[in-house]
Amino acid sequence: MAGIHPSAVVAEEAQIGPGCTIGPFCVIGPEVVLGADVNLKSHVVVTGDTHIGDGTEIYPFAVIGEIPQDKKFGGEKTQLRIGARNRIREHVTMNTGTAGGGGMTRVGDDGLFLAGCHVAHDAQIGDRVVLVNSVAIGGHCIVEDDVIVGGLSGVHQFVRIGRGAIIGALTMVANDVIPHGLVVGPRGELDGLNLVGLKRKGVKRADITALRAAFQMLKDGEGTFQDRARRLADESDSDFVQQMVAFILGASDRNFLTPR
């Protein structure tokens, strides 16, 4: 049975899973679905066609599922889907999608979204993503699994960030970031690989060595960036390198941050 504080306003049509806790002064809209053991601390607004997965915790003054901050939005029915076991801290905002962007904003499992973060319309956020304080993820972005974005950073709309990448604090990311890349600087520059993250995940030394060699080829090899990636696809048998190559050769609306 859910524990709902008397001061909370919960629409009758909302679906509240077993074991949920809805704290003081929360507001839950009629299309909201909360999975089991979701914990809304207090003063949380969850609205729109929003589903939140089991075991997720949301802290005070977060606003989840409001309409997009997009002038083109015309009131169409769109959605927000949030996975399991996320921790969403104070003043975080996550918006539903737009018809032009596929109609759905999606957040994976086991993420950590620190105070003041924003996930805009139609963004696709993977599993185990960490957005540090006041990070802004623009509309239509794709942030793959295990990405960390440092505090006060911004990611331009339509940008893709490959899995395992790390973005330093105070960085503006305007172009795609390769998997396991390290991006730093006021105007983000690709400055190497996320070696600390790779080692923490227990990636084999042979794969790390292959990734470092691949990075050097992308940086210094002959031909265009895409040509170098195609050569890597033919020459490397490392799954991690092939993952990077597939990301580079995949469809994108942005250019890549290239190694400096």
Catalytic sites, residue numbers: 121-122, 139
Which two tokens mark 172?
Answer: 């503006």
Q: Which residues contact residue 204 at a Cβ distance below 8 angstroms, ignoring those fewer than 6 apart?
A: none
- Phi and psi torsions of 154, nearest 5°: -125, 140
Q: Which residues contact 241 (CB under 8 A, 6 or more apart)?
A: 207, 210, 211, 214, 232
Contacts of 235 (CB under 8 A, 6+ apart): none
Cα–Cα dist 81/242, whole Å: 30
Runs of H (alpha helix) within the chain: 195-200, 205-220, 225-235, 239-249
User: Token pair 């003043």 is at which residue?
Assistant: 91
CA angle 170, 102, 174 (to 5 degrees): 25
